[in-house]
Amino acid sequence: MGLNNTTNLNDSIVTTTLDHAINWGRSYSLWPMAFGTACCGIEFMSVAGAKYDLSRFGAEVVRFSPRQADLLIVAGTISYKQAPILKKIYEQMCEPKWVISMGACACSGGFYDNYTTLQGIDEIIPVDEYISGCPPRPEAVLDAIMNIQKKSHDESIMKNRIKEYKGYLDV
């Protein structure tokens, strides 16, 4: 083999870290699960429709089991009666996992400032992205999903990803 046949390896080898490769794949294959309880849940249906094309972000495979989802989207009013169910669903999801709080009700109870309504889901579970609005526009939900994609790049297979529950309400 002559010198002219020598392969220029710079053109054919890509170096990366294992974390970076896994996070790259993870960020483009989020599996969302919507916990829709009210009007924001209906708005999420339009996000998942053809017009807004969630598959551009690799997030179109909406799951109906928390064990198959890594992105929980809470869309709607959460009553204290529902709160333990939401918390259980979060706990059933495998790590790493992320949470989007969609709309005023999920973020803060909205205008339901009364004895039946949880005043924000971050009283019981960690939230990664908050979306304001009543209801939020689909573009705002897409923006939150892109922010989750960026956050997923910080994951490491070496670090303990179990999020602490200290400080969250025991419902």
Structure token digits, residue 34: 């919507």
Among positions 38, 142, 146, 169, the unique one binding ligand SF4 when judged by CB under 6 A:
38
- Does position 86 interact with ligand SF4 (CB under 6 A)? The reply is no
Structure token digits, residue 44: 């999420």
Q: Is 87 helix (H, G, I), strand (E, B) or coil?
A: helix
Q: Least distance in Å: CB of 78 to ligand SF4?
A: 10
Distance CA 132, CA 126 (A): 17
Residue 153 DSSP class = T
Show contacts with ligand SF4 in window 105-134 (CB under 6 A). 105, 110, 134
- Does position 45 interact with ligand SF4 (CB under 6 A)? The reply is no
Spatial neighbors of 156 by CB under 8 A, at least 6 apart, are 19
Q: What DSSP assignment string belongs to 16-52?
A: --HHHHHHHHHHT---EEEEE-SHHHHHHHHHTSTTT
Q: Are 97 and 85 in contact (CB under 8 A)?
A: no
- Does position 138 interact with ligand SF4 (CB under 6 A)? The reply is no
Pick the piece of the chain touching ligand SF4 (CB under 6 A) from 3-11, 17-25, 34-42, 78-86. Answer: 34-42
- Does position 78 interact with ligand SF4 (CB under 6 A)? The reply is no
Pick the piece of the chain touching ligand SF4 (CB under 6 A) from 16-24, 37-45, 50-58, 115-123. Answer: 37-45
Among positions 23, 54, 57, 76, the unique one binding ligand SF4 when judged by CB under 6 A:
76
Distance CA 133, CA 55 (A): 24
Among positions 30, 71, 104, 118, the unique one binding ligand SF4 when judged by CB under 6 A:
104
Q: Which residues bind ligand SF4 (CB under 6 A)?
A: 38-40, 76-77, 103-105, 110, 134-135
